[in-house]
Amino acid sequence: MSKPHKSITAQDVADYAGVSRAVVSRALSDNGSIAPETKAKVIAAARALGYQVNFLAQGLNRKRSQLIGVVVARIKDPFRSSLLEGLIHTIQRRGYQALVTEVGSEKDLESTLRQFTQFRVSGVIVTSGQPPAALVDECVQFKIPVVGINRHLDIPAVDFVCSDNQQGAALATAQLLESGCHSFAWLNCQSSTWAGIQRGVAFEQTLARARHAPKSLKRIIADQDGYDGGEAAALAFDLSQGLPDGIFCANAQLACGFLDGMRQRGFDAPKDFHLIGFDNTPQTAQYSYRLTTLNQDIPALCSEVLNCLESRNKSPNQAARLITVPVSLVLRHTSPDIHLG
Amino acid sequence: MSKPHKSITAQDVADYAGVSRAVVSRALSDNGSIAPETKAKVIAAARALGYQVNFLAQGLNRKRSQLIGVVVARIKDPFRSSLLEGLIHTIQRRGYQALVTEVGSEKDLESTLRQFTQFRVSGVIVTSGQPPAALVDECVQFKIPVVGINRHLDIPAVDFVCSDNQQGAALATAQLLESGCHSFAWLNCQSSTWAGIQRGVAFEQTLARARHAPKSLKRIIADQDGYDGGEAAALAFDLSQGLPDGIFCANAQLACGFLDGMRQRGFDAPKDFHLIGFDNTPQTAQYSYRLTTLNQDIPALCSEVLNCLESRNKSPNQAARLITVPVSLVLRHTSPDIHLG
DNA sequence: TTGAAAGCGCTACCAT
DNA sequence: ATGGTAGCGCTTTCAA
């Protein structure tokens, strides 16, 4: 049982190794020239003493911590938690640490971004909310790179990484058309994310461009997001003009809810309609749903995000980039593979 | 468009307000005596200049950052992401920031804990893995409080906050007995968490203590955790001796998978058996599952966790505590309320 | 290659 | 109540 000891500093290591503090710093950070044997000696000393760099002091000096700020919202939503998991994993793999902040409102985002700068983070990842230009400007002034996921605003010096919503919509449209669907519906919620809106627009466009005669397209707008929103939308759906037979959903949660809502009214997919959702969440693979979905490549998204961060750390003034990550169609029960049928 | 400006320091505020740096520090931290009007003057100056404390410098000085380290694993698991959401929310509400680290193995935990100390975190929350005594000792030496959730080891100076597994098992047993179940089963996975094991033990004990004759109890051990594990266990279940009619699950994911697995074999709850799971995850409320579960009071858990942290920061040498948080039974379709039946 | 020394921005102690 | 000042532990010139 050791006493509450004073923590070991670089000076202790220096004394132990018989060198100066400066040499210790160089030995441990590969920065500045140092004789190989001196370096080995210092590293041995550091190990012997159990020396740990004080990140606070290091960051204060370097004017940059090895922290990366991550802005999230509604973590318990399945897709978001998968994305967060991927981000944290990637952040750690690249030698950083994740400073995770949950925001409820745009106003939260403001103070959050401010706190990030106060910690001199090496980068900021925004997965929710729209960074107010003024605040981003503040980050830019601190030379802190900012990157957004699955959203895109035209903010100077801010990069964005997005799943390919166009391609997703095209894949879904093709699948529904090939399956012989005639009347279509698009399901989204009010207060949709930017990505959701894009998907809807792309769906309408792809459908309009389809070779054969124009198809009917109904827009279903749920009052709220998530499973509950989708379920309520299904329960409230006006069936007097029949049920569309090809339905595309802005996200998987809405889709699962919609499916369950329709089941409560005696309809089911693929018997009565085809259903495709975005976001291949674990739940969509389960026996009770087996939802055909568009898979977002989370590892690729995360990897690109960190590439952006690191690249902009090197050259802060490069033009803002928009990186698009391909999606893929996962065929399951709610709109089966016609080639297997 | 402002230039990459030098950041504003306490000295700038001091100059602007016509006072010394020390006064600025006092004005902003309520620490040390200061004339009300001076304080107001400083605060006005700080606001005018847009001054932001440098947390790195502050932490270096105070020997403590306002960071709280959170150790998690498999974030995308529904209960875990809900818990993480609660933790982050609570951490922020109390004026800290969450440093979130994902661990895969015990070895990860070691380096993680070390990194936390390097950031001089104000506390460590362990939601996964078992903190190795030696490392915890290191934290203790830095006077960093450590608290674990839903696990309990007898480590000096480490507090634990747990949902009441005993009570949960008792509630489940009572419900199953009152519903007239005769043969029972306990479903868990190999490599279960500490909490899962506790629940199983408590279930067996409660059942054994039940007033009427001893009941049959079968243990089903899935090869893996989660939905897939539960489903596989159901598909592999030996039906030659019939299906138990009262089944209790270590967690909701296993339960959902088991239910779906049984459905694939033509059985369903509550028709053929009653099913109760732990963890009231959002998914269990959905129409396709409507699982009777034991609800963990996440806000209460999180609140207690931070209470422990703050309390131990005040008096580091107090005895280790184990705080138990009540659970509640949420009656749904897979084991309905008999009083409504 | 190495060491001395000047900060990084802040807090806290000690005089005043 | 206020101001001067000595660090916190580290990095990074600049000389030697």
- Domain spanning B62-163+298-327: CATH 3.30.565.10: no
Q: Which residue has the tokens 């009231």?
A: B280
Q: A99–B102: do the CB atoms touch at under 8 Å?
A: no
In what helix (H) or strand (E) does residue A7 lie, and over which residues does it extend?
Answer: none
Q: Which of residues 110-149 of A touch B (CB under 8 A)?
A: 114-115, 117-120, 137, 140-143
Q: Which residue has the tokens 């468009």?
A: B1
Protein residue ranges contacting nucleic strand D, Cβ under 7 Å: A 6-7, 9-11, 21-22, 24-26, 28-29, 31-32, 51-54, 57-58, 60-62; B 18-23, 26, 32-35, 37-39, 57, 60-61, 63
pLDDT digits (tens, 9 = 90+) for A124-143: 999 988 777 777 888 888 89
Domain B10-53, what fold?
Answer: 434 Repressor (Amino-terminal Domain) (1.10.260)
Angle between helices B78-93 and A78-93 (to 10 degrees): 70
Q: Which residue has the tokens 């971004």?
A: A113
A182 at B interface, C-beta within 8 A: no
Q: Half-sphere exposure of residue A134, counting CA atoms within 13 Å on the CB side?
A: 7
Confidence grade of residue A105 (pLDDT, cut at 50, 70, 90): confident
Backbone φ and ψ of B58, nearest 5°: -60, -45
CATH no. for B165-296+329-340: 3.40.50.2300
CATH 1.10.260.40 residue ranges of chain B are: 10-53
CATH 3.40.50.2300 residue ranges of chain A are: 62-163+298-327, 165-296+329-340
Question: In the 8-state DSSP scheme, what is residue A97?
Answer: E
d(CA B5, CA A155): 20
List chain D nucleotides near protein: any atom < 7 Å from a Cβ. 1-5, 7-13
Walk along chain B (341 residues) and give the pLDDT tens digit of each residue: 344 457 899 999 999 999 999 999 999 998 889 999 999 999 999 999 999 999 999 999 999 999 999 999 999 999 999 999 999 999 999 999 999 999 988 788 888 999 999 999 999 999 988 777 777 888 988 899 999 999 998 888 899 999 999 999 999 999 999 999 999 999 999 999 999 999 999 999 999 998 776 679 999 999 999 999 999 999 999 999 999 999 999 999 999 999 999 999 999 999 999 999 999 999 999 999 999 999 999 999 999 999 999 999 999 889 999 999 999 999 999 999 988 75
d(CA A46, CA A15): 11
Q: Which residues contact B239 (CB under 8 A, 6 or more apart)?
A: B265
Stated length of chain B? 341
Neighbour-count burial of B221, counting CB atoms closer than 10 A to its CB (0-12 exposed, 13-18 middle, 19+ buried): middle
